[in-house]
Structure 1
Amino acid sequence: MSPRFAPDVENRLTRAGWFPGRKVDTESWRGRLEEEGFVFPQAVLRFLEEFDGLYIEHDGPAADVGRYPVEFNPVLAVGEADRFAEWGADVGRTIAPLGEFERGQFFLGMDETGEIYHVSNWVARYGVGDAGLERLLLGHSGEELPL
Protein backbone atom coordinates (compact mmCIF):
# COMPACT_ATOMS: atom_id res chain seq x y z
CA MET A 1 0.00 0.00 0.00
CA SER A 2 1.43 3.36 -1.00
CA PRO A 3 1.69 6.15 1.58
CA ARG A 4 -1.08 8.71 1.71
CA PHE A 5 1.24 11.73 1.46
CA ALA A 6 4.70 12.42 0.11
CA PRO A 7 7.23 12.03 2.98
CA ASP A 8 7.96 15.77 3.09
CA VAL A 9 4.25 16.65 3.30
CA GLU A 10 3.58 14.02 5.96
CA ASN A 11 6.54 15.32 7.97
CA ARG A 12 5.25 18.90 7.83
CA LEU A 13 1.74 17.81 8.80
CA THR A 14 3.05 15.64 11.65
CA ARG A 15 5.14 18.51 13.03
CA ALA A 16 1.95 20.62 13.02
CA GLY A 17 0.09 18.02 15.11
CA TRP A 18 -1.59 15.85 12.48
CA PHE A 19 -1.67 12.08 12.76
CA PRO A 20 -3.56 9.35 10.88
CA GLY A 21 -7.10 9.09 12.22
CA ARG A 22 -7.08 12.60 13.74
CA LYS A 23 -10.60 13.88 14.29
CA VAL A 24 -11.50 17.19 15.93
CA ASP A 25 -14.86 18.68 16.81
CA THR A 26 -16.19 21.16 14.26
CA GLU A 27 -19.36 22.02 16.18
CA SER A 28 -17.64 24.68 18.28
CA TRP A 29 -17.42 27.07 15.29
CA ARG A 30 -19.79 25.61 12.72
CA GLY A 31 -23.06 27.16 13.93
CA ARG A 32 -21.53 30.62 14.19
CA LEU A 33 -20.21 30.50 10.62
CA GLU A 34 -23.43 29.01 9.23
CA GLU A 35 -25.39 31.84 10.86
CA GLU A 36 -23.11 34.24 9.01
CA GLY A 37 -24.06 32.56 5.71
CA PHE A 38 -21.34 29.98 5.14
CA VAL A 39 -22.38 26.53 3.91
CA PHE A 40 -20.19 23.53 4.77
CA PRO A 41 -20.54 20.58 2.39
CA GLN A 42 -19.67 17.13 3.79
CA ALA A 43 -16.30 17.05 1.96
CA VAL A 44 -15.29 20.25 3.74
CA LEU A 45 -16.41 19.01 7.14
CA ARG A 46 -14.48 15.75 6.69
CA PHE A 47 -11.36 17.71 5.75
CA LEU A 48 -11.70 20.08 8.71
CA GLU A 49 -12.37 17.23 11.15
CA GLU A 50 -8.90 16.01 10.22
CA PHE A 51 -6.93 19.23 9.70
CA ASP A 52 -8.68 22.05 11.62
CA GLY A 53 -6.39 23.75 14.12
CA LEU A 54 -3.14 22.93 12.34
CA TYR A 55 -0.59 25.62 11.56
CA ILE A 56 2.02 24.53 9.02
CA GLU A 57 5.20 26.60 9.13
CA HIS A 58 7.04 27.98 6.13
CA ASP A 59 10.14 25.89 5.54
CA GLY A 60 12.43 24.90 2.74
CA PRO A 61 12.46 25.40 -1.00
CA ALA A 62 9.23 25.24 -2.96
CA ALA A 63 8.17 23.78 -6.27
CA ASP A 64 6.92 27.05 -7.83
CA VAL A 65 5.86 29.93 -5.65
CA GLY A 66 6.85 29.35 -2.04
CA ARG A 67 6.03 27.23 0.95
CA TYR A 68 3.86 29.71 2.71
CA PRO A 69 2.57 29.20 6.22
CA VAL A 70 -0.88 27.60 6.21
CA GLU A 71 -3.39 27.78 9.05
CA PHE A 72 -6.45 25.57 8.93
CA ASN A 73 -9.05 27.49 10.91
CA PRO A 74 -12.30 28.48 9.14
CA VAL A 75 -13.11 31.09 11.79
CA LEU A 76 -10.38 33.26 10.25
CA ALA A 77 -12.87 33.96 7.43
CA VAL A 78 -15.48 35.60 9.68
CA GLY A 79 -16.96 38.53 7.79
CA GLU A 80 -16.10 37.05 4.38
CA ALA A 81 -19.21 34.96 3.63
CA ASP A 82 -20.13 37.21 0.69
CA ARG A 83 -16.70 36.78 -0.91
CA PHE A 84 -16.90 32.98 -0.64
CA ALA A 85 -20.48 32.94 -1.96
CA GLU A 86 -19.58 35.14 -4.93
CA TRP A 87 -16.57 33.04 -5.93
CA GLY A 88 -18.62 29.91 -5.43
CA ALA A 89 -21.28 31.26 -7.78
CA ASP A 90 -18.60 32.12 -10.34
CA VAL A 91 -17.18 28.58 -10.33
CA GLY A 92 -20.58 26.90 -9.95
CA ARG A 93 -19.73 25.34 -6.58
CA THR A 94 -20.23 25.95 -2.87
CA ILE A 95 -16.92 27.15 -1.47
CA ALA A 96 -16.45 27.05 2.30
CA PRO A 97 -13.49 28.43 4.25
CA LEU A 98 -10.63 26.21 5.39
CA GLY A 99 -8.37 28.94 6.78
CA GLU A 100 -5.58 31.19 5.54
CA PHE A 101 -2.15 31.05 4.02
CA GLU A 102 0.79 33.39 3.67
CA ARG A 103 0.11 34.81 7.13
CA GLY A 104 -3.43 35.90 6.39
CA GLN A 105 -2.86 37.44 2.99
CA PHE A 106 -5.09 34.86 1.29
CA PHE A 107 -7.94 32.59 2.28
CA LEU A 108 -8.20 28.90 1.55
CA GLY A 109 -11.49 27.29 0.64
CA MET A 110 -12.87 23.95 -0.44
CA ASP A 111 -15.94 22.98 -2.45
CA GLU A 112 -18.29 20.00 -2.24
CA THR A 113 -16.03 17.91 -4.49
CA GLY A 114 -13.00 18.44 -2.22
CA GLU A 115 -11.30 20.93 -4.56
CA ILE A 116 -9.01 23.30 -2.63
CA TYR A 117 -9.02 26.99 -3.62
CA HIS A 118 -6.99 30.12 -3.06
CA VAL A 119 -9.64 32.80 -2.38
CA SER A 120 -8.74 36.47 -2.64
CA ASN A 121 -9.67 39.12 -5.20
CA TRP A 122 -9.03 36.25 -7.64
CA VAL A 123 -9.43 32.52 -7.28
CA ALA A 124 -7.16 29.57 -8.10
CA ARG A 125 -7.48 25.85 -7.52
CA TYR A 126 -4.93 23.34 -6.28
CA GLY A 127 -6.64 20.01 -6.80
CA VAL A 128 -8.96 17.66 -4.98
CA GLY A 129 -8.39 16.33 -1.46
CA ASP A 130 -4.97 14.95 -0.60
CA ALA A 131 -3.56 15.82 -4.04
CA GLY A 132 -4.63 19.46 -3.64
CA LEU A 133 -3.27 19.59 -0.11
CA GLU A 134 0.08 18.25 -1.31
CA ARG A 135 0.28 20.81 -4.14
CA LEU A 136 -0.45 23.60 -1.66
CA LEU A 137 2.07 22.42 0.94
CA LEU A 138 4.81 21.70 -1.59
CA GLY A 139 4.59 25.27 -2.88
CA HIS A 140 3.01 24.73 -6.28
CA SER A 141 1.06 27.63 -7.71
CA GLY A 142 -2.66 27.19 -8.00
CA GLU A 143 -4.35 27.16 -11.39
CA GLU A 144 -5.86 30.62 -11.71
CA LEU A 145 -9.44 30.44 -12.93
CA PRO A 146 -10.37 32.87 -15.70
CA LEU A 147 -13.58 34.36 -14.39
Structure 2
Amino acid sequence: MNAETTQRWSAETDRVLREAGWFPGRSVPTQEWESTLLEHGGFEIHEAARRFLAEFGGLESRERGPGRTMARMGFSLDPTVAEWDDEIFDVLSEEADTDLYPIGSADRRNSYLGIAPDGAVYIGMDSVTLLAETSDRALEKLVEGIR
Protein backbone atom coordinates (compact mmCIF):
# COMPACT_ATOMS: atom_id res chain seq x y z
CA MET A 1 0.00 0.00 0.00
CA ASN A 2 1.43 3.38 -0.92
CA ALA A 3 1.22 6.65 1.00
CA GLU A 4 -1.37 8.08 -1.41
CA THR A 5 -3.78 5.23 -0.69
CA THR A 6 -3.16 5.35 3.05
CA GLN A 7 -4.09 9.03 3.09
CA ARG A 8 -7.18 8.60 0.94
CA TRP A 9 -8.96 5.98 3.04
CA SER A 10 -8.52 3.10 5.47
CA ALA A 11 -6.75 -0.18 4.76
CA GLU A 12 -10.13 -1.96 4.82
CA THR A 13 -11.57 0.39 2.20
CA ASP A 14 -8.45 -0.05 0.10
CA ARG A 15 -8.78 -3.85 0.31
CA VAL A 16 -12.45 -3.88 -0.69
CA LEU A 17 -11.94 -1.45 -3.57
CA ARG A 18 -8.96 -3.39 -4.90
CA GLU A 19 -10.94 -6.64 -4.72
CA ALA A 20 -13.65 -4.87 -6.74
CA GLY A 21 -11.11 -3.95 -9.43
CA TRP A 22 -9.89 -0.50 -8.41
CA PHE A 23 -6.19 0.38 -8.57
CA PRO A 24 -4.27 3.68 -8.33
CA GLY A 25 -4.47 5.50 -11.65
CA ARG A 26 -7.54 3.57 -12.82
CA SER A 27 -9.38 5.40 -15.58
CA VAL A 28 -12.26 3.98 -17.59
CA PRO A 29 -14.23 5.66 -20.37
CA THR A 30 -17.46 7.32 -19.28
CA GLN A 31 -18.94 8.22 -22.67
CA GLU A 32 -21.31 5.24 -22.86
CA TRP A 33 -22.78 5.97 -19.42
CA GLU A 34 -23.02 9.66 -20.24
CA SER A 35 -24.86 9.13 -23.53
CA THR A 36 -27.23 6.50 -22.08
CA LEU A 37 -28.18 8.72 -19.15
CA LEU A 38 -28.55 11.80 -21.33
CA GLU A 39 -30.67 9.98 -23.91
CA HIS A 40 -32.96 8.10 -21.53
CA GLY A 41 -33.08 10.35 -18.48
CA GLY A 42 -31.94 13.76 -19.62
CA PHE A 43 -29.04 13.67 -17.15
CA GLU A 44 -26.26 16.11 -18.00
CA ILE A 45 -22.98 15.08 -16.46
CA HIS A 46 -20.84 17.51 -14.49
CA GLU A 47 -17.09 17.29 -13.99
CA ALA A 48 -17.22 15.79 -10.47
CA ALA A 49 -19.37 12.92 -11.75
CA ARG A 50 -17.12 12.37 -14.76
CA ARG A 51 -13.99 12.22 -12.55
CA PHE A 52 -15.65 9.87 -10.06
CA LEU A 53 -16.98 7.50 -12.71
CA ALA A 54 -13.67 7.45 -14.59
CA GLU A 55 -11.95 6.20 -11.44
CA PHE A 56 -14.65 4.08 -9.80
CA GLY A 57 -17.37 3.42 -12.39
CA GLY A 58 -18.28 -0.24 -12.81
CA LEU A 59 -16.98 -1.34 -9.41
CA GLU A 60 -19.20 -3.41 -7.15
CA SER A 61 -18.92 -4.63 -3.57
CA ARG A 62 -21.30 -7.17 -2.13
CA GLU A 63 -19.78 -7.05 1.34
CA ARG A 64 -22.50 -6.78 3.93
CA GLY A 65 -22.76 -7.32 7.66
CA PRO A 66 -21.92 -5.45 10.82
CA GLY A 67 -20.08 -2.19 10.40
CA ARG A 68 -18.66 0.40 12.74
CA THR A 69 -21.85 2.39 13.44
CA MET A 70 -24.34 0.78 11.03
CA ALA A 71 -24.55 -2.23 8.77
CA ARG A 72 -22.15 -2.39 5.85
CA MET A 73 -24.00 -1.88 2.59
CA GLY A 74 -23.06 -3.50 -0.64
CA PHE A 75 -22.90 -1.04 -3.51
CA SER A 76 -22.68 -0.93 -7.28
CA LEU A 77 -21.09 2.04 -9.03
CA ASP A 78 -23.11 1.72 -12.23
CA PRO A 79 -24.87 5.00 -12.99
CA THR A 80 -27.24 3.41 -15.51
CA VAL A 81 -29.20 1.87 -12.65
CA ALA A 82 -31.03 5.23 -12.59
CA GLU A 83 -31.37 5.75 -16.35
CA TRP A 84 -35.20 5.76 -16.24
CA ASP A 85 -35.52 7.48 -12.86
CA ASP A 86 -34.86 11.09 -13.78
CA GLU A 87 -37.96 12.19 -11.85
CA ILE A 88 -36.63 10.58 -8.67
CA PHE A 89 -33.29 12.32 -9.19
CA ASP A 90 -35.07 15.62 -9.80
CA VAL A 91 -36.76 15.28 -6.40
CA LEU A 92 -33.55 14.17 -4.67
CA SER A 93 -31.64 17.07 -6.27
CA GLU A 94 -34.29 19.54 -5.18
CA GLU A 95 -34.23 18.18 -1.64
CA ALA A 96 -30.41 18.32 -1.55
CA ASP A 97 -30.48 21.79 -3.15
CA THR A 98 -27.84 20.73 -5.69
CA ASP A 99 -27.61 18.97 -9.05
CA LEU A 100 -27.13 15.26 -8.32
CA TYR A 101 -25.81 12.97 -11.03
CA PRO A 102 -26.35 9.21 -10.60
CA ILE A 103 -23.23 7.22 -9.77
CA GLY A 104 -24.80 3.96 -8.62
CA SER A 105 -26.83 2.28 -5.94
CA ALA A 106 -26.40 0.84 -2.46
CA ASP A 107 -28.18 -1.51 -0.11
CA ARG A 108 -29.45 -3.95 -2.74
CA ARG A 109 -30.65 -1.10 -4.95
CA ASN A 110 -32.83 0.32 -2.18
CA SER A 111 -30.89 3.59 -2.34
CA TYR A 112 -29.39 5.62 -5.15
CA LEU A 113 -26.00 7.26 -4.92
CA GLY A 114 -25.65 10.70 -6.48
CA ILE A 115 -22.77 13.13 -6.67
CA ALA A 116 -23.01 16.92 -6.56
CA PRO A 117 -20.82 19.28 -8.62
CA ASP A 118 -18.74 20.00 -5.50
CA GLY A 119 -17.97 16.27 -5.08
CA ALA A 120 -20.31 15.63 -2.14
CA VAL A 121 -22.07 12.26 -2.32
CA TYR A 122 -25.71 11.79 -1.37
CA ILE A 123 -27.72 8.63 -0.75
CA GLY A 124 -31.45 8.13 -0.96
CA MET A 125 -34.54 6.98 -2.78
CA ASP A 126 -37.63 8.55 -1.16
CA SER A 127 -35.57 11.21 0.56
CA VAL A 128 -31.93 12.18 0.34
CA THR A 129 -29.15 12.35 2.92
CA LEU A 130 -25.62 13.67 2.61
CA LEU A 131 -23.41 10.58 2.79
CA ALA A 132 -20.12 12.47 2.78
CA GLU A 133 -18.54 15.73 1.66
CA THR A 134 -16.10 13.84 -0.59
CA SER A 135 -16.33 10.72 -2.72
CA ASP A 136 -13.38 9.12 -0.92
CA ARG A 137 -15.10 9.50 2.43
CA ALA A 138 -18.40 8.25 0.95
CA LEU A 139 -16.72 5.07 -0.28
CA GLU A 140 -15.12 4.56 3.11
CA LYS A 141 -18.47 4.98 4.88
CA LEU A 142 -20.16 2.48 2.56
CA VAL A 143 -17.36 -0.07 2.89
CA GLU A 144 -16.97 0.20 6.65
CA GLY A 145 -20.56 0.80 7.70
CA ILE A 146 -20.21 4.30 9.11
CA ARG A 147 -23.25 6.53 9.58
Report whether the alignment pairs 1:136 with 2:138.
no
Amino acid at match of 1:100: S
| Gap runs ≥5 in structure 1 | 142-147
**Aligned-partner SS, 1:10:** helix
Distance 1:138 1:39 in 2: 31
Report whether the alignment pairs 1:104 with 2:104.
no
Q: Matched residue pairs, number?
A: 141
Identity of aligned residues (%): 30
User: 2:17 matched to which residue of 1?
Assistant: 13
Distance 2:108 2:127 in 1: 17
Report whether the alignment pairs 1:27 with 2:47.
no
Cα offset, 1:85, TM superposition: 1.6
Report whether the alignment pairs 1:95 with 2:100.
yes
Cα offset, 1:91, TM superposition: 2.1
**Aligned-partner SS, 1:97:** strand
Distance 2:42 2:119 in 1: 20
* 1:69–1:103 CA contact under 8 A, matched in 2: yes
Higher mean displacement: 83-92 or 99-108 = 83-92
Which has the larger share of helix? 2
Residue 63 (structure 1) aligned to one of 51, 63, 68: 68
* 1:39–1:94 CA contact under 8 A, matched in 2: no
Higher mean displacement: 7-16 or 49-58 = 49-58
Distance 2:26 2:65 in 1: 26
| Gap runs ≥5 in structure 2 | none
Distance 1:101 1:123 in 2: 13
